[in-house]
Amino acid sequence: MTKVDIFSGFLGAGKTTLIKKLIADGYNGIKLVLIENEFGQIGIDGGFLKESGIEITEMNSGCICCSLVGDFGSALKDVIDQFSPERILIEPSGVGKLSDVVAAVKRVEGTEICGTVTVIDASKCKIYLKNFKEFYENQIKYAGTIILSRTGNISQEKLDQAIALIREINDHSQIITTPWDDLSGVQILKAIEEPLTAADMAAALLEGEQHEAEHHHHHHDDDDDDHDEHEHHHHHDDDDDDDHDEHEHHHHHDDDDDDDHDEHHHEHHHHHHHADEVFDSIGFETSKRFTKAQIEEALKALDDNEKYGTILRSKGIVAGEDGTWIHFDYVPEESEVRTGASDVTGKIVVIGAEVKKDAIKELFGI
């Protein structure tokens, strides 16, 4: 059996950063294949992950719900036959539904899903949940482990708020809240493979105390709790059964539709959605040279939703005027611009909802 780990999470949550950390310190020496399925025409992530010497299958086929479930099975079989990996890491599109990916992997014989992870940017949890409920809720609901990113940069109050929102949707999975820099990849991987909740921990501690009757009585009570916890967990596994999953899934969407309908968030949110109906991307290649300041200015401008649409993520590698190459990453109100390795030509990808493509091309002077 080939073990499969799925790393889900909205655009720009930090999935790739997490995967790189786990590859460097966590999976340590086992034969890995990373499969990416990014939403958008140009695969940029593949480029810098190749440095780790991992075989990459890139499937930039737009809508994860249809194309991934359609041809994903045979692609996954090919990867297993060709590379016989000990472990496959799947980084699905940031705008995909985790339940779709789980169902697609389960249909491939010889695979065993080991970890289902959803990475959540703690500072953006509230706004994404409001605007992209159907996708965001699904990623939270079906995750075995939820890993919060960027927790070091926000207030305790904001962190508590994000955790409360997550717990309303998923009350049983392990949530990792510690900043990643304070954890080793080995620790994170252990939490993914064997999620230990507080209730499990309490039960284990109590078991270790072989004390008199009072304790024994207390232990017994706790066992009942633990049984519930186990049942609950078992129920979660059941959720993953295809038929049951479909049913849950469908029911869950009906609820969603009502909410969306009430909130009038996206006019076109009235039925069950595929990612390519709600999300949109523009990707282009360019030989143009930029200065760091020009890129920083352009990324700041993307915060203007009226002018450019709701931009959720932008990523690019472009030539710098001084002969260096500029690598950049953008999520709303936050961007990172650095110098990095050269590429065969410049690439820019912008992803969002109702993306105003002409305005974006103009912004980058294309």
Residue burial 29-62, b: 16+ Cβ < 10 Å; e: rest:
eeebbbbbbbbbebbbbbbebeeeebebbbbbbb
| Each residue's pLDDT tens digit, 170-224 | 988 989 998 999 899 999 999 898 876 666 666 666 665 544 334 444 444 444 4
Specify the pLDDT at position 334.
87
Q: What is the mean pLDDT of residues 321-325?
A: 91
Q: What is the DSSP string of 328-344?
A: EEEETTEEEEEEE---S
| Each residue's pLDDT tens digit, 119-170 | 999 999 998 998 888 889 999 999 999 999 999 889 999 999 999 999 999 9
Among 116-130, 231-245, 291-305, which is the least confidently predicted range?
A: 231-245
Q: Among 100, 234, 256, 99, which Cα is nearest to 172's?
A: 234
| Each residue's pLDDT tens digit, 27-85 | 887 888 787 765 543 344 444 444 445 555 544 432 222 223 346 777 788 778 877 88
Q: Count Cβ atoms within 10 A of the Cβ of residue 303 and give its class: 0-12 exposed, 13-18 middle, 19 or more buried.
A: middle
Say if residue 237's pLDDT is above 60: no
Of 356 and 84, more confident: 356
Side chain identity, residue 145? T
Q: Among 87, 107, 78, 102, which Cα is nearest to 1's?
A: 87
Quote the CA–CA distance of 141 and 119 in Å, as a whole number.
Answer: 12
Of 169 and 274, more confident: 169
pTM of whole model > 0.85? no
What is the Rg, in whole angstroms, of the alpha carbon atoms belonging to the chain?
Answer: 22
Of 302 and 198, more confident: 302
Specify the pLDDT at position 197.
65
Secondary structure class of 126 (helix, strand, coil) = helix
**How far is CA 26 from each of CA 29, 48, 85, 92, rounded to the nearest angstrom?**
9, 19, 16, 20
* Pair 173, 143: CB distance under 8 Å: yes
Q: How many CB atoms lie within 10 A of CB 12?
A: 22
| Each residue's pLDDT tens digit, 87-105 | 888 888 777 789 988 988 8
* Pair 329, 255: CB distance under 8 Å: no
